[in-house]
Amino acid sequence: MTTIQARTRETIASFVSRTAAYFHVNAAAFSMDKNTSFQSLISGKAEAVAALEDFKVRISNNVTAWSPTSTAAAKGRRLFRGHTFPAKVLQGSTMRGCPHCLRGDLKGQDNPAVSMAMRGHWLVPHVTLCLKHQHPMVTLWKESHLIERFDSAAHLALIAPNIIAGHFDEEIRDETDFDIWLDNRLEGHDEGNWLEQFPLHAACNFCLMLGTSLLRHEMSAPSSVQPEDYWGVYQMGFEVAKNGEKAIQDALMGLQTLPGGPHDGPKKIFPKMYERLAYDYVDDPDYSTFRNILRTHMCETWPLGVGDELLGEPVTERRLHSVRTAAQATGIDQRRLRKILIAKGVISETGLSYAWEIFDAQKAEEALRSATTLITAKAFAEGIGATRSQFDLLVSGGVLSPKLSSLDEVGTKAIWDPAEGVDFLESVFLGAAPLRSAQHGWEHIAKSAMRLKIGPEEIIRAIQSKRIVRIGNHADYDGYSALYVYHDEVCSILSPEPTMGQNIELFSKAVGIGQPRRMQRLISNGHTPATELENPKLKTRQRYVTREDADAFHKKFYTPRTMAQAYGRSWQAMMATLRADGISPFSPDGEDYGSLFERTLIDAKFK
């Protein structure tokens, strides 16, 4: 069979598409005629390549070497040049390339569909420049369907006149150190820097995250940078990250000298980086070192307290105070408090802002207690993040009470202890799940109480007594205004209807068992009770978890969520301790009930 000449760094998909065009068919039909599929060839499957060779269509080693393959890769992953990438990253809907390279393919040729080839490194989104021509990668076409997207010959034939005319050309630029390093890694060469110990895709993404954060030195909205300008952002991050943890920590500290403080939230101080590491890549081990660097930095320099989050995990105790947070807790003016703390030797003259001047909260506890000043109801309400009407409801419900007697008796409005406000917030936010948005089912505590026609104090006491365990801390708000509850759970616990309980799915989610079938299995096997009741809508009988059933479950079992709330520690740390001590999840009959533990074992370990 007649074959065409492969181009340098060409992919299997491109080569097959060009070969098919030579015979005036599309790539899918050509592949099917050779007892394989074009999709398998796009995935670089060895058996698909072998099928072509059975029909005398030989794919050279140079082509397979620059083609992503699913062979020997984990599900949803592709191996490319010895590096692992998510399949969706290398198979995105946008196809990019260098117009100079494509024009070079056309020299001496009369059929663009057969002569122009797509290169493997163009698939890597971190590649932003053709080093040969110093030309930026440009978008050639977009296509949502995989087969049509990678049948490149048809697309290139359509845009060939524009490529020849230079309509895809952009201003050339010099290559950066990042551009050179990335190309060398794809060629199999290392330079020995710190980043090379990590998977290439994760290392490149971290350079982009760090670079975006470092842009705060140059602009006020770094996250708004467009993809065509990412090349400079990659370089900014690479210039620091290649030198290792100390350089990264210094860069993070430098960001904290810019306008803004911890009260603005980590997403503002570390744009893109915090969001990605806390949420998008939270379960990806490739990013664990980068997460640990940011976590360590924030643990050592951020005044985090209960109600805050650290990389997606709720903070369960305060280790550090800042002058600002201590002023809120004591009711003392920040300027005066700083002088008091300096006089007592708690802090020294550093010139840092009130928000970043930190100190050990436990060691300063006595000094802060002696300096605490009572404040007005207005200041107290503002301090806990409540509106005046919300504050009044909490007072009338007995949740909050003044430190001194009434205004008429003591002659001053300053009768409220701000430390008690801090204690109140800690009691309701302990173990709360960070919420990026209030999705279906989540309600602010005040609205949930209003819907049930009860006072918020009833929900608060149920939270404090661990009867309500599904608590949310909304990222867009502070204090009481950030306190969200899962309304269905509140209904099942506090609804005036005494006979109805939670359905199995809702109860499972409330206690942190993500797969309700595990709870169904636990009940069916007699390990925890449920009650058969009539479904009020369907008029059929089904199993519910009543309040008594829920109490029986909690007396016998802990899930990671409920143990964290019971002990005021992060579930990640507790689970790590259990694994280290060989304490296994509950499974007396060999069944999989998920991360469920006997309460007696957990209490014996942590009490």
Tens-place pLDDT, residues 501-521: 778 888 888 888 888 899 999
Which of these, 183, 429, 195, lies nearest to 305 by C-alpha position?
A: 429
Q: What is the pTM of this model?
A: 0.77
pLDDT of residue 408: 56
- 322: tokens are 């800042």
pLDDT of residue 302: 97
* Rounded Cα distance, 490 and 500, in Å: 12
Q: What is the 3-state secondary structure (H, E, C) of 122-156?
A: HHCCCCCEECCCCEECEEEEECCCHHHHHCHHHHH
Q: 474 forms bridges with which residues in the sheet? A: 435
Residue 213: Cβ-neighbour burial (10 angstroms; 0-12, 13-18, 19+):
buried
Domains of the chain, residue spans: 12-165, 177-302, 374-496, 518-607
* Rounded Cα distance, 129 and 234, in Å: 12
178 and 235 Cβ atoms separated by less than 8 Å: yes
Distances (CA, A) of 113 to 37, 442, 588: 20, 55, 65
* Rounded Cα distance, 173 and 343, in Å: 57
* Rounded Cα distance, 394 and 399, in Å: 5
* Rounded Cα distance, 325 and 421, in Å: 12
* 489 phi/psi in degrees, rounded to 5: -70, -40
First to last CA, the chain: 76
519 and 507 Cβ atoms separated by less than 8 Å: yes
Instruction: Report the percent of the chain where pLDDT is more than 90.
Output: 66
pLDDT of residue 561: 84
* Rounded Cα distance, 303 and 596, in Å: 33
Tally of residues, the chain: 607
Residue 224 identity: S
pLDDT of residue 240: 98
pLDDT of residue 7: 96
Residues (pLDDT < 50) of the chain are: 498-499
* Rounded Cα distance, 399 and 61, in Å: 73
Distances (CA, A) of 143 to 24, 152, 155: 21, 11, 10
pLDDT of residue 576: 84
